[in-house]
Structure 1
């Protein structure tokens, strides 16, 4: 309202200025020029208003984008969740926005609720299992053989995120079923109730055992990758053998020099074998 009044006041002042000049200099200004000026005045003012509003809107949009980026970064740092790796970037941002109170959205009502798992919603034992799986995957991602692209790209870039997502999803279902079991056992537990609950509990335990076995497979794969990394470090250390050969040559130790050479030859095969074993361990994750 105040802005509209300001524009109106500016328009009136410009109009008054033109009228004053017309009256003060009746012979100096052509009436046609005055008419044209009066006609162009609202057009010029309208153009000014449009430019001003456009800049104001763009500035507001830029400020909103900066604020939203900071809020999303805060969610990423403070809300621990596992998302379906097949989500698009826009879908992932939609999920993140559910945890920004200012936007008034609810994670529980999100259309993508079945495509992310909030870690805090899991039972403590389920969180421990998920942390083990994450640690194994991170160990692979941060390995030197991964950086050098010596491992199976499919296993690392596609299979591992999928494994982690499936594990998180199963752990959430198990958490909910465990809670149902706990609630069902409150109060008097009759033989009839046990007849219903015990087979369900047995199925739940089998599912937990199966998920645990999957996590152990991930851990075995991560261990193989660490062994391959160790072989790489050994190969790097092999580059120092020339210094030790020179030392042994100065001490006339021919046998020691032969041993160093033999170790160097064997190390190449050790490295190749370690990488092969890591790749084979990754391939077993698909079975």
Structure 2
């Protein structure tokens, strides 16, 4: 519709130029005796080329403006999708495939529906587990010990996104199976139907327990990372010990000096152990 309107505008804009060409041509025709027919034709062609060039310039400029406006609109729509649609993506997606998924929520059809999970489509218990898992991963990714590369970068950068994606896929399957179980139990439940549904329900519950344990493993890893962060902050606070040593020296408190020095050595050991425990907890995620 916008292109059709712009084409009409250009046609209307060309009318005055055409009228000017005809008016000048008629005026020149009256003096054709002095210019000659060849001069008249050359002058008319010159005017026509100028008018055509102006129309072409206007068309190209309008198309560029339309393309820029379309790009701005698309980027705005993509930002809205990213903000409003809570998705867990397959970490193996390419940037192009990720854009196709986002664009599918702007202009159907949806693309790569097996490569992402919409969190709001999950059941309420599954959403709780998904949010717990993502909170644990966020805790690890924002930790100071990670920023200083004291943890296993492979576990954080590769294994954690894969863990989230696997958990999301399992939770989506569980959500669908819950819906099937609920639908099958509507109405009268006969002994024959119960004999079919009860083993299925038991398998679903075992799966729920397994994914819950996986989420708990992520949370344990996040807690270990928080402990390592606390030990790191304590080591940074040791920089103030010199002030306290000076204070104790002024009061000749040798016992206090020995305690500060002992605490410094013990803290270094604690930090090393906390980081080692966090790394080991992260390594267990890939087993």
TM-score, normalised via structure 2 length: 0.92
Extract structure 1 runs of 4+ deviating beyond 4 A.
none
Instruction: Give the unaligned 5+ runs of structure 2.
Output: 1-7
Q: Once the 2 structures are TM-superposed, how far is the Cα of residue 114 of structure 1 from its aligned partner?
A: 0.7
Deviations 1:166-189 (A, max 9, x none): 101100100000110111111111
Of stretches 72-81 and 180-189 in structure 1, the one that deviates more from structure 2 is 72-81
Correspondent of 1:64 among 67, 70, 73: 70
Q: 1:12 aligns with which of 19, 43, 46?
A: 19
| Contact 2:117 2:168 (8 Å CA) reproduced | yes
Q: CA deviation at 1:23?
A: 2.6
Match of 2:125 in 1: 125
Structure 1 unaligned runs (5+)? none
Structure 2 distance, partners of 1:250, 1:184, is 81
Inter-partner Cα distance in structure 1 for 2:174 and 2:127: 11
**Aligned equivalent of 2:3:** none
Mapping 1:55-204, distance limit 5 Å? 55-100=61-106, 103=107, 105-106=108-109, 110-204=110-204
SS at match of 1:114: coil
TM-score (norm 1): 0.92
Aligned length: 280
1:31 shift after superposition: 4.8
State how far apart, in whole Å, the 2-side matches of 1:15 and 1:251 are.
107
Give me the whole-angstrom Cα distance separating, in 2, the residues matched to 1:279 and 1:268: 17
Post-superposition offset of 1:36: 2.2
Q: How much does 1:199 deviate? A: 0.9
| Equivalent residue, structure 2, for 1:267 | 267
Question: Relative to structure 1, is the Cα distance of residues 193 and 204 closer, same or farther in structure 2, using a 3 angstrom cutoff?
Answer: same
